[in-house]
Every structure is written in C-alpha cells, then in structure tokens.
Amino acid sequence: MDMKQLDRLAKAGEELPQGLASYKQNYYIASRGLYKQYERGEVDLTRARKEKAELMEAHKEGEWEWEYFLKLHEIMDKLQQLAKEGFNSVIEVEVLELIEELLK
C-alpha cells in the first residue's frame, strides 16, 4: 500500500489496514490524527502542511531503514548457510556483494 492510498484511508478515518510494515503503520496513524486535528480546528493549514511534510520525511526514512533491515537479514541468512555448509565461494561472493550494496 503506497502513501497516497494510506492518505485516502487516513483522511476518511478508516481503521488501520492489516499487515502494514511498522513505518507505514506509524505514518497512517499520525496522518489520521493530523487530519482529525485539522478538521476540528486544532491545527491551522500552515501547521498541518508542515507536520505532514515531516511525516512524509519520516515515512521515507522508515522505508529506507526497513529495506536496510531486510538486506541485513539476507546477509545473516547467507552467513548462517556458510557456517552450516562450510566453504562455498558462490555464497561468499554473494555476501560480499550484499555488504557492498549496503555500504553504498
């Protein structure tokens, strides 16, 4: 589910969609709250836009962290496979490529 879909649901006050990654859950809940605060007049448009921009930035950072975390797990799986199977140059090259990708 992308950010626009989450925004539509949040603006409508829908329940939290199931199965979202934690960074998407956080974005959705914060967006829904911000929409409600704006509707009730608790925040003005300028503040709502500023806070929405901050939410979008946090969402981008969360997405990056999530992808990084998944890549680290892939490396861990490969290293566990190496420990179990012993020397395997193909797996070793794959691990080095994954590490190189993370260090970019």
Distance CA(30)–CA(54), nearest Å, equals 11
Q: Is 97:74 a contact under the CB 8 Å cutoff?
A: no
Could you give the number of structural domains in the chain? Answer: 1
State pTM to two decimals.
0.76
Question: Domain limits at 41?
Answer: 3-102
Q: What is the pLDDT of residues 45-82, one digit of tens each?
A: 999 999 999 999 999 999 999 999 898 888 888 888 87
Q: What is the pLDDT of residues 6-40, one digit of tens each?
A: 999 999 999 999 999 999 999 999 999 999 999 99
C-alpha dist (Å) from residue 50 to 5, 7, 13, 82? 20, 16, 20, 48
